[in-house]
């Protein structure tokens, strides 16, 4: 069953630090039924959340990003599931980038949706 209301997910410790260019960047790992979203540490009590894929869930996701002060978003999707979220986020004024999953999957060590969204967020920032 898809997560409702953006359930908090524990954030894994990062082993790499990159120079930050976009401090208000988020990363999203898009799935058919769930989207995992990472925002920078300190934007909210929990920096990784899971949202469902229904319209109300996408609106809650966009609301959370706005609440966190996010201005730019990178997302990864292997299917067409990114389209509704991409359009919603653009309509809400976010700068949205779609990442090529083939390029992101070549990075060794990332095995979960939580780690994927954190890595996308880190690379985009």
Ranges of each domain in the chain: 20-124
Please say whether the structural domain 20-124 has been given the CATH code 3.30.420.140.
Answer: yes
Q: What count of other Cβ atoms lies within 10 Å of the Cβ of residue 88?
A: 16
Give the model's pLDDT for residue 1: 43
- Select from 42, 80, 44, 78 the least CA-distant residue to 61: 44
Rounded distance between C-alpha atoms, residue 26 and residue 106, angstroms = 20
Do β-strands 34-38 and 48-52 pair in parallel, antiparallel, or remain unpaired?
Answer: antiparallel
Give the model's pLDDT for residue 2: 45
Rounded distance between C-alpha atoms, residue 49 and residue 20, angstroms = 21
Q: What tens-digit pLDDT sequence spans the chain (125 residues)?
A: 444 566 665 545 454 566 777 789 999 999 999 999 999 999 999 999 999 999 999 999 999 999 999 999 999 988 899 999 999 999 999 999 998 766 555 555 556 767 777 888 888 77
Longest dimension (CA), the chain: 37
pTM score, two decimals? 0.78
């Amino acid at each position: 069953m898809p997560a409702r209301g953006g359930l908090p997910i524990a954030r894994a410790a990062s082993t790499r630090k990159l120079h930050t260019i976009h401090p208000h960047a988020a990363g999203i790992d898009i799935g058919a039924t769930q989207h995992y979203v990472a925002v920078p540490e300190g934007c909210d009590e929990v920096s990784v959340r899971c949202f469902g894929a229904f319209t109300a869930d996408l609106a809650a996701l966009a609301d959370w990003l706005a609440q966190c002060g996010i201005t730019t978003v990178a997302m990864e999707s292997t299917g067409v599931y990114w389209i509704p979220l991409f359009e919603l986020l653009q309509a809400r004024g976010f700068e949205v980038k779609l990442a090529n999953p083939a390029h992101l999957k070549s990075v060794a060590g990332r095995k979960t949706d939580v780690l994927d969204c954190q890595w996308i967020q880190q690379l985009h920032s």
